[in-house]
Structure 1
Amino acid sequence: MKYVIHIVVVTVFVVSMAMHVVWAEEYRLGPGDILTFGVWGYEDLQVKELAIRPDGKVAFPIVGEIDALGTSTGQLTELLTEGLSHYINDPKVTVNIIKFRTIRVYVLGEVVKPGMYELEKQHNLLDALGAAGSYTRNAAKKKVYIIRKDQTSTPVKVNLMNIWEKGDMTQNYALGDGDVVYLSNNGRINFTTDILPFAMGSYYIGHM
């Protein structure tokens, strides 16, 4: 019973922390997000569905291409307003997100529900843990590893206690499509045998 209560409390805490991060940080646009665009009083300029391209750009009427990668809807609205102001007097621009992009990540090891998850909106470590039901009682919370799909670097080691106890959100790393989050237990971990089925590589992270 104590174990069940522990899991419930931890799960609620992880999810609430993830939601706090979403509220605290304004969403940044990226490829795959779908927007609506309009200018008050100009029905012909309304675009009901506009996807951000893989290069991070979008093409708007009159204004042309704008780099939307990493901007918020507010910042994009300002860019469009500035561009349209050369053609329209005091344009009232609205930009809304109608569909958030999703990424797929693997959350493995000492989590309640290991597996593949699609993350929408914020794509970070806390969201991934929340999707997997948080960590188990046996998880080594100071040994959480992020393995990047592109394999350009060694796994990133995260100490969750720095997030919980110190509020260090720099440890709440952004995740990319195909990344793996692995929560170890208190024993040694061999990347080849434990992670290889889910991510290519040959790292040994037992003593990181």
Structure 2
Amino acid sequence: MIRLFAALFAALLMAGCASSLPPAPLKAATPDYKYLIGAGDSLNISVWRNPELSATVPVRPDGKITAPLVEDMVAIGKNPTELAREMEAKLKKYIQDPVVTIVVQGFVGPTSEQVRIVGQAARPAALNYKQDMTVLDAMISVGGITEFAAGNRAVLIRATEANKAYNIRLHDLLKRGDVTANVELRPGDVIIIPESWF
């Protein structure tokens, strides 16, 4: 977490000279992306032929869940299929050949799965990442940029690339309709929008 704050601070310093940063790559999404469960998610757990063991449970702030016959199982950081297989292993003590299906409802996800927009966004926010999410999608969700934003000096910090910084051209995308400035995002990306100097 400290490394992320250090990278964000460095990016703010670089935002003044964002033109020296490389442009963000247009393509970034990976086809094998799997959602990771986070605190605050709601999980619908279905145990085939055992409706009394099926339930909808929240993922607690400590990252664990409690379901019928399964107490304090760590859910955070796992995809639903992995968690279902672990739950099947626990339930084998009580029922023969359990088949568990887990569906995530009310997505929150861990911070590593969110896209955060800070600075001169109309409504800075942390957004849940969605496959093939783009900068335009993120900016629509936060209401665009303020009148004081230096949109073309915005910086994208990519956590999956050791916090590498890229320049993104938000003003060109949002005010001029330049779709070549629309780039794909990855889970954990941070968009920093600096204030204009004049």
Aligned equivalent of 1:116, options 97, 104, 124: 124
Q: Could you tell me which residue of structure 2 aligns to residue 131 of structure 1?
A: 141
2:196 paired with 1:182: no
Q: Which runs of 5+ in 1 are unaligned?
A: 1-13, 147-155, 162-168, 190-208
> For structure 2, which runs of at least 5 residues remain unmatched after alignment?
1-23, 158-162, 169-183
Aligned counterpart for 2:37 among listed residues 22, 26, 29:
29
SS of structure 2 residue aligned to 1:32: coil
Q: Does residue 61 of the first structure (1) align with residue 61 of the second (2)?
A: no
The answer to whether structure 1 residue 97 and structure 2 residue 97 are counterparts is: no
- CA separation of 1:173/1:89 partners in 2, compared to 1, >3 Å: closer, same or farther? closer
Query: In the superposition, relative to structure 1, how do residues 119 and 182 fare at CA in structure 2: closer, same or farther (>3 Å)?
Result: same
**What's the counterpart of residue 155 of structure 2?**
144
TM-score, with normalisation over the residues of structure 2? 0.56
CA distance in 2, matches of 1:117, 1:133: 10
Report the Cα offset of residue 106 of structure 1: 4.6
Q: Write out per-residue CA displacement over residues 147-179 of structure 1, whole angstroms, 9 at most, x where no aligned residue.
A: xxxxxxxxx672147xxxxxxx9x94616xxxx
The 3-state SS of whatever aligns with 1:65 is strand
Given that residues 44 and 57 in structure 2 are in contact (C-alpha distance below 8 angstroms), is that contact kept between their aligned partners in structure 1? yes
Per the normalisation by structure 1, the TM-score is 0.53
8 Å Cα contact 2:151-2:194 kept in structure 1: yes
Taking a change above 3 Å as real, the CA distance of residues 42 and 94 of structure 1, as seen in their structure-2 partners, is: same
In the alignment, what sits opposite 1:150? none
Letter in 2 for 1:144: V
Report how far residue 63 of structure 1 moved. Answer: 2.4
The residue type equivalent to 2:76 in the other structure is L
Which residue in the other structure is 2:49 paired with?
A: 41
Distance 1:106 1:72 in 2: 25
Aligned length: 148
Instruction: Report the secondary structure of 1:44's partner residue.
Output: helix
